[in-house]
Amino acid sequence: MFRRQKEKTGLEALYLGNSKWKSAPRRNKLDHYAIIKFPLTTESAMKKIEDNNTLVFIVDVQANKHQITQAVKKLYDMDVAKVNTLIRPDEEKQAYVQLAPDYDALDVANKIGII
């Protein structure tokens, strides 16, 4: 009629859950320093800084726009209006970070050391 469930052991327990051993909580592999790799300093990026109040960064491919926004806020202490991203042919992700109107991208670029 009723059977007692067999206790899961070893790999079975790890795959199916309900194990004796509890795993450690996961560490976030994408911290703020891992998300933003480096700022881009090409001529077109400099034109974006001057004309559109926008900084250009190479970021981690797995980072999304919310994570990029939070990383820029934390690392550079500035407000972000919006973020546009694209994946380049060399499989790097490029982020266009438009700053809030009360920040000047040229001043921020000087502070960071881009210019």
- Superfamily of segment(s) 29-112: RRM (RNA recognition motif) domain (3.30.70.330)
The whole-number pLDDT of residue 28 equals: 78
Tell me the CA distances in angstroms from 92 to 35, 60, 99, one per residue in order: 12, 7, 22
CA distance 37 to 23: 30
Nearest to 57 by CA among 104, 90, 93: 93
Domain ranges, ordered by start, for the chain: 29-112
Q: How many residues belong to the chain?
A: 115
Q: Which two tokens stand for residue 91?
A: 């499989």
Rg of the chain over CA atoms, in angstroms?
22
Tens digits of pLDDT across the chain (115 residues):
677 777 766 666 555 555 556 677 777 788 999 999 999 999 999 999 999 999 999 999 999 999 999 999 999 999 999 999 999 999 999 999 999 999 999 999 999 999 8
Question: Looking at the chain, which runs of residues are DSSP E strands?
Answer: 36-39, 54-59, 80-87, 93-99
Phi and psi for 7 in degrees, rounded to 5?
A: -75, 135
- pTM given for the model: 0.76
